[in-house]
């Protein structure tokens, strides 16, 4: 019996030991994680991304100290990143001693292959995510690299655009840079079916015309690829190129655009169209500060973070990167409700069940409850006002607001044009402002001049805004200042909107860039709007006066009518009763006269 209990105890101990050995190894202590982002902190890549990654590690029961580095690659190339942005981080990386490095999106990964600071990536496990065009030859050189691809599904996005807009013509921006050619090679196999796709790489004008396409290529997708030879070395536009760009925008502004890479030139064109645009990648989507894209079929930020953290945790638990195969992200349909109202309305309701909709307002998210509240409010208002007065006010207000809306729409359309001769891009570095040569000649100033020099050309009422612009380090985010300038010693004054985006890198590098946009016509339209609003208010005052007069006259008039009727229809009245009725009639008539006198006095004041 004694031996039986001994054997039973040994058997239980072996079971407990086996169960503990079969469990995954945990991650002990705090792990240092460095995260490289291709973009800046605007939109989803900022706080939403950081918060999602922190929660993903917590969900995996891993205590991670996260350090985020934003490369702002749409405004910089690999050389400027190395020489400027990364230098302050080198000492920090020595202190952080990362246990794992996470790289997000193509620009950051391609920079990792080119950078002179390759030590960051050589001896540390690296997990990349959100990669649209993976350079497999480069990845093969690094056994410590693994991660997730986000291969662009071009055909699914084209089908989506057709269903939402009914258009088969699509614009795609690709420059003649190495990465662009690599991306094009990834997309080309999806376009081999010549019975479905027409590729327009030479800007054939007839392929921009919808009637021509529908007649000659019925049911086929027409894809136009456009771009620049070397955008980083061709920042300034000469006269002929400017005309070419202007004509290009004019002929293509009604064509849907599909974003396939995060690019400053690409975003500029999308910004200057009146149509909702589309994206096959998550970059630029759901940016509350800069709404660009309405919808697309791509990998969400949440999916990208969860996939990347999953691989990172497995590596921190002891799995070698080379044991984790390069996998594919899961995609989905996403729609930004804010972008729907940029131009014409999309037929998105028919696809609503298949979409993840972001930024949806209360009235769209709960339409029936919103309609109930609206109906309830309408009934309450209707109980206070008579139906005749409501119809009258609605007609008058509708006429006034249509005029105001027309002016607002015209002002909005004018604001879409970026390529005005008296507008310009600018860049500020270390207290100096740089503008293109053409704009400098127009304002009779050197191409590069001290920021203080511009202060002499600024109207006194705008100097406070200009000083605030110079102190841009006070806060992050996109900003806009309206400044009044003169370039002919005060003979004529012009209004300019100065638009710029303050990032942490801009503050650190003392470098800022943005746009000068002439808004003289906008200011003129605002004055017209102001006058229209004043006219609308005067109409409203007179309408309220008419309504009040009607109510004030109605009661005494009814009373006089009642008394007169009583006086004429009751012949047996005594003299005293007749005298009393006459007295009441005179009192009511005096009341009517007082009301009429009050109306006359009020009318003189209106």
Long-range contacts of 539-546 (CB under 8 A, 24+ apart): 539/396, 539/397, 539/400, 540/393, 540/397, 541/606, 542/606, 543/392, 543/393, 543/396, 545/599, 545/602, 545/603, 545/606
Q: Residue 429 gets which letter from DSSP?
A: E
Q: Regarding predicted confidence, which is higher, 357 or 323?
A: 323
Share of the chain above pLDDT 90, in %: 20
Residue 203: is its pLDDT beyond 80?
A: no
What's the rounded Cα separation, in Å, for the pair 556 and 588?
A: 6
3-state class percentages of the chain: helix first, strand second, coil last, to nearest 5: 55, 20, 30
Whole-number pLDDT of residue 446: 81
- pLDDT tens profile 245-274: 677 677 677 788 899 888 777 777 777 777
Average pLDDT over residues 388-398: 67
- pLDDT tens profile 441-469: 777 778 787 877 777 788 888 777 777 77
pTM equals 0.57
Average pLDDT over residues 367-379: 67
Q: Regarding predicted confidence, which is higher, 335 or 496?
A: 335
Q: Regarding predicted confidence, which is higher, 190 or 579?
A: 190
Q: Residue 594 gets which letter from DSSP?
A: H
Q: CB neighbours of 583 closer than 8 A, spacing ≥ 6?
A: none
* Mean pLDDT score of the chain: 78
Q: What is the DSSP string of 345-401?
A: PP--GGGGGGEEEES--HHHHSHHHHHHHHHHHHHHHHHHS-HHHHHHHHHHHHHHH
Q: CB neighbours of 515 closer than 8 A, spacing ≥ 6?
A: 418, 423, 424, 425, 426, 497, 498, 499, 500
Average pLDDT over residues 538-557: 72
Strands (DSSP E) contained in 80-228 are 100-104, 126-131, 145-149, 169-173, 197-200, 221-226
Average pLDDT over residues 387-412: 59
Give the least confident one: 103-107, 125-129, 400-404, 449-453.
Answer: 400-404
Highest mean pLDDT among 21-35, 164-178, 221-235, 354-368 belongs to: 164-178
What's the rounded Cα separation, in Å, for the pair 181 and 177?
A: 6
Residue 27's nearest CA partner among 58, 62, 69 is 62
């Amino acid at each position: 019996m004694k031996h039986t209990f001994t054997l039973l105890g040994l058997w239980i101990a072996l079971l407990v030991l086996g169960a503990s050995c079969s469990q995954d190894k945990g991650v002990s202590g705090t792990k240092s994680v460095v995260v490289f982002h291709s973009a800046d902190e605007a939109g989803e890549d900022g706080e939403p991304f950081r918060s999602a990654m922190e929660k993903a590690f917590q969900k995996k029961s891993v205590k991670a100290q996260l350090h985020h580095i934003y490369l702002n690659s749409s405004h910089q190339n690999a050389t400027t990143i190395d020489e400027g942005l990364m230098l302050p981080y080198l000492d920090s990386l020595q202190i952080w001693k990362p246990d794992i490095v996470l790289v997000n999106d193509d620009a950051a990964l391609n920079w990792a292959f080119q950078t002179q600071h390759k030590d960051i990536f050589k001896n540390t496990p690296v997990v990349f995510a959100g990669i649209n065009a993976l350079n497999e030859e480069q990845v093969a050189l690094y056994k410590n690299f693994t991660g997730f691809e986000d291969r662009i599904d071009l055909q699914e996005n084209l089908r989506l655009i057709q269903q939402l807009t009914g258009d088969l013509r699509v614009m795609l921006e690709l420059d003649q840079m190495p990465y662009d050619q690599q991306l094009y090679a990834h997309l080309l196999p999806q376009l081999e079916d010549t019975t479905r796709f027409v590729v327009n790489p030479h800007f054939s004008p007839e392929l921009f015309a919808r009637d021509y396409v529908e007649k000659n290529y019925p049911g086929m997708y027409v894809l136009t690829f456009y771009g620049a030879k070397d955008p980083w070395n061709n920042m300034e536009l000469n006269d002929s190129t400017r005309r070419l760009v202007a004509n290009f925008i004019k002929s293509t502004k009604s064509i849907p655009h599909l974003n396939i890479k995060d690019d400053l030139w690409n975003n500029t064109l999308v910004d200057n169209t009146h149509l909702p645009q589309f994206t096959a990648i998550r970059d630029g989507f759901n940016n509350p500060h800069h709404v660009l894209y309405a919808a697309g079929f791509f990998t969400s930020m949440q999916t990208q973070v969860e996939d990347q953290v999953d691989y990172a945790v497995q590596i921190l638990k002891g799995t070698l990167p080379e044991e984790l195969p390069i996998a594919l992200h899961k995609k989905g349909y996403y729609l930004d409700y804010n972008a729907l109202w940029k131009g014409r309305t999309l037929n998105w309701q028919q696809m609503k069940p298949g979409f993840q909709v972001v930024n949806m307002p209360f009235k769209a998210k709960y339409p029936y409850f919103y309609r109930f509240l609206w109906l309830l409010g309408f009934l309450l208002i209707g109980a206070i006002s008579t139906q005749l007065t409501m119809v009258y006010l609605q007609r008058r207000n509708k006429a006034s607001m249509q005029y105001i809306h027309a002016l607002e729409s015209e002002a909005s359309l004018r604001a879409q044009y970026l390529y005005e001769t008296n507008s310009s891009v600018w860049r500020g570095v270390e207290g100096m402002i740089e503008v293109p040569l053409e704009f400098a000649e127009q304002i009779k100033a050197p191409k590069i001049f001290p920021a203080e020099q511009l202060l002499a050309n600024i109207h006194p009422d705008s100097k406070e805004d200009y000083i605030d612009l110079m102190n841009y380090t006070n806060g992050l985010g996109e900003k806009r200042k309206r400044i009044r300038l003169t370039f002919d010693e005060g003979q004529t004054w012009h209004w300019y909107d100065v638009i710029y985006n303050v990032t942490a890198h801009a503050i650190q590098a003392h470098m800022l860039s943005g746009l000068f946009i002439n808004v003289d016509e906008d200011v003129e339209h605002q004055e017209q709007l102001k006058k229209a609003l004043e006219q609308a208010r005067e109409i409203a005052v007179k309408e309220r006066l008419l309504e009040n007069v009607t109510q004030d006259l109605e009661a005494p008039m009814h009373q006089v009518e009642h008394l007169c009727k009583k006086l004429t229809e009751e012949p047996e009245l005594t003299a005293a009763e007749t005298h009393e009725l006459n007295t009441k009639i005179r009192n009511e008539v005096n009341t009517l006269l007082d009301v009429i006198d009050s109306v006359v006095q009020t009318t003189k004041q209106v």
